[in-house]
Amino acid sequence: MPKLSVPGNGMQTIGYSANGEASDWMLSTHGIYAMSPELGTPNPRTSEFFIISPKDIKIMVEKNSDWIFYAFRQLLP
């Protein structure tokens, strides 16, 4: 079974580079640590065109809820 969460930048985790995004800006401008998880669906057409139905979003959240809640619990005071 693949890992649900792999830390690192875009090239290290999903094989493509990015010039920066909101998490980078939040850290460099405000000193806030943030994360931007990449989630997808088994359907390559859905993932390729970024059109995700409410049903697929619900499934995606359910499948990733364990690590999402774990991350929030670690960050809460």
Angle, CA 44 vertex, CA 57 and CA 58 arms, to 5°: 10
Q: What is the pLDDT of residue 48?
A: 66
DSSP 15: S
Q: How far apart are CA 62 and CA 74, in angstroms?
A: 19
Q: Is the pTM of this model over 0.75?
A: no
- Per-residue pLDDT reduced to its tens digit, 8-54: 776 777 777 777 678 888 888 999 888 777 776 666 676 666 677 88
Band (pLDDT 50/70/90 cuts) for residue 5 is: low
DSSP 76: -
HEC assignment per residue over 25-68: HHHHHHCCCCCCCCCCCCCHHHHHHCCCCHHHHHHHHHHHHHHH
Domain boundaries, the chain: 1-38, 41-77
Q: What is the pLDDT of residue 28?
A: 85
Band (pLDDT 50/70/90 cuts) for residue 77 is: confident
